Structures are given as structure tokens and as C-alpha cells.
Amino acid sequence: MKVSIIGSTGYTGMELVRLLSKHPKVELKILTSRSFAGEDISDIYPNLRGKVDTKCEKLDLNKLAASSDFVYTALPHGVSMEVVPELVDRGLKVIDLSGDYRYNNLKTYEDWYKPHQSPSLLEKAVYGLPELNRSKIKASGLVANPGCYPTASILALAPLVANNLINKDNIIIDAKSGTSGAGRKLSLGNHFCEVNNNFKAYKVANHRHTSEIEEKLTLVGGEDITLSFTPHLLPINRGILATIYANLEENLDTAKILEYYEDYYKKEAFIRVMEEGILPEIKNVAGSNYCDIGLKVDERTGRIIVISAIDNLIKGSAGQAIHNLNIMAGWDESLGLEDLSLYL
């Protein structure tokens, strides 16, 4: 399959290039970049040298459409909607990695982002979380790749919500991400001296991913969910660890709830449910497309504590986007995603 990437020089775009370069059924065609047009991608990211030395180009929709079967749009929120409608009109299959097509509800998107330029496509786009929407992804021509925090949070909570095991009015998500989650664009808050030897919360009570998590869990549970989500910045390059608290609806122990998780994810290649007494760690998933989930019941408070870990750039972004490509193309879902964690 001939695949092109619009916005190839951000961290997500780079991970797409790196992973797709070793995909056995993909031929990388066009890599676009506003900032680095005319430069080899391997000069921007030397780790690609000798493997992908493609020259980045300015976006030319006619050329891209003529040479591609499939397009990734790895663009900032609000920018993707400027190009996605035309790509869809030209018959290309698209996976968008921005937030522009993740929402079913137009008002929710516009409350948290900005006015939408192509709201009719929200009805056609499928939310690209394979573990929840596999059949819809397979039949879709436009897939909205989930956010990284929502991926870690929704996967951790879906079995509880789907089986009505928790009170849905007081869910708390406490999540931490490596600095690559903020992207490659320079900002004071991401400078080395600001991040190193530091740990902080940010966008408390107003992070955009709150609305994404709420909307998708509402669909899983069949009733409105409002929750608290607080993100934190870790002084590491990549990885997300989410610790989630919820009150149980009935008196169940850890072993019993693990049975629900194992049954819910029994066919999922990239979900690893930890045995009782074992909890996820970022180092065990960094560099891989896995989501590790562990949990424990606090019998004293009647509360369940669920912990999930992913690599924000892979399972939370580029890897999940390739998983979606594999589903849409009818290929083995693990193609190009077989790598285990780097650990060290």
C-alpha cells in the first residue's frame, strides 16, 4: 500500500515514518512538512539515516492524491480539518491524528476546541480505538486516532464501565506523561531546565482530553459520565502512567474484577492485563504498542484503583495509527508493531 504522511516532522510524524519504514506491506511515498520542505527527513531525524532518506515536500494535494492509497494527517488541532475533507473527496483513506474528528458531538468539540469547518465529516469519522471500534474501523474511510491520555484512560476504565461495576459519578483520573506528549514545538514550559528535576500538574480541570474521555466512556456505559482528569508532566521523554480511582457498586475483590478485565480483553493482542499483585510501569511499555493494565481493590474504602501504562508516541499515537491501518486494510493487526519495550 502506498502511504503518505502530511506533517511528517513532528514527534508523532517521525514515529510514523520510523514504524512504517519496517512495515512489510507499506511503501512510503510522500512526506510533507511546512517547516522543513526541501530537507531530507534523515537530516531532521538522523536515526532514520540510511533507512528513510526521503526529501520532505510542501503539501501538493494533486501530487499526493495521484501517488497515494492512504494518508496520515499528523497536523495540529484545527489544521487537519483544512485538508481532510479534500482528501476524503478524492477517495483517499485517511487516519487523522489531531482532535478534529474524534468527537460524535459537534458542540462538545467546539466547546473545547474551536468552530469546526467540516462538521458533516464528524458523522462519517470513526474513533480509532481498535479494542472498542474494530468493526467500524474496518469499514471506514476516515478514522480519528485517539489522544494519548484518552487511550490510557479509556482502556483502563472500559471493563468497569461496560459491566456497571463502578459508580460513574466520581471517577478520578490522575495521569502523568513524558514531555514528548507536548510535541516538538518549542515552549518555555518544556525547556530542559523547566522539566528536569521537576514534576508538575498542568491544565487542571480544563484539559481538552477530559471531554474526549467522557464522551467515549459515555458510549461504552450507555449513560452520561462526568469525571475529574488531572495531567502531570514527568521529566522523561516518553510514556504515560494513569492511576484511576472509582467507587465500586458492589463488594468485589481484586481477583474477581481481574476476571472481568481478562474476559473483556481476551482477544486483544496489545492489552496485557497484569496478574494480581503486579502493576504496570512505563519502562515495560516504552517503545512498544502495548497497554499494560493492573488493578487493586482497596477493601477499606470500597474503591478500585486501576493503573495503566502506554508509550504516548506509539500506543498513544503512531503505533495505534498503524494498528488502525492494518485493520482497515484487512491485514494481520500486529504487522509492523511486533517490537517489545526497550526496558532500558
- Is 148 a residue of the active site? yes
DSSP per-residue letters across 246-278: EEBSS---HHHHHHHHHHHTTT-TTEEEPPTT-
The predicted pLDDT at position 191 comes to 87
Distance CA 233, CA 177 (A): 5
CATH number, domain of 235, equals 3.30.360.10
Question: Do the domain assignments include residue 73?
Answer: yes
Question: Do the domain assignments include residue 342?
Answer: no
Q: Within its chain, how far is the Cα of 227 from the centroid?
A: 19
Contact status, residue 70 vs residue 88, Cβ threshold 8 Å:
no
The predicted pLDDT at position 141 comes to 97
Catalytic residue among 56, 148, 193, 291: 148
Cell 493503573 found at = 307
Distance CA 306, CA 273 (A): 11
Among 270, 275, 303, 276, residue whose Cα is nearest residue 288:
270
Write down which residue in 80, 109, 124 finishes a domain. Answer: 124
Report pTM: 0.97
* Per-residue pLDDT reduced to its tens digit, 160-178: 999 999 999 999 999 999 9
SS3 (DSSP) at 231? strand
In which domain, by residue range, is 254 found?
Answer: 149-314
Using 50, 70 and 90 to split pLDDT, how confident is the model at 109?
very high
User: 153 and 291 in one domain?
Assistant: yes
User: 103 and 192 in one domain?
Assistant: no
Question: Do the domain assignments include residue 164?
Answer: yes
Distance CA 60, CA 116 (A): 23
Residue 339, pLDDT above cutoff 80: yes
The predicted pLDDT at position 239 comes to 98
User: 221 and 102 in one domain?
Assistant: no
The predicted pLDDT at position 21 comes to 97
Question: Do the domain assignments include residue 155?
Answer: yes
Alpha carbon separation from 30 to 53, 66, 82, 313, 321 (Å, rounded) = 12, 11, 18, 21, 17
φ, ψ for residue 331, nearest 5 deg: -95, 170
User: 297 and 156 in one domain?
Assistant: yes
Contact status, residue 313 vs residue 270, Cβ threshold 8 Å:
no
The maximal CA–CA distance of the chain, rounded, in angstroms, is 63
* Per-residue pLDDT reduced to its tens digit, 39-90: 999 999 999 999 999 999 999 999 999 999 999 999 999 999 999 999 999 9
Q: Based on the structure, what is the number of domains in the chain?
A: 2
User: 303 and 154 in one domain?
Assistant: yes
User: 181 and 310 in one domain?
Assistant: yes
User: 87 and 179 in one domain?
Assistant: no
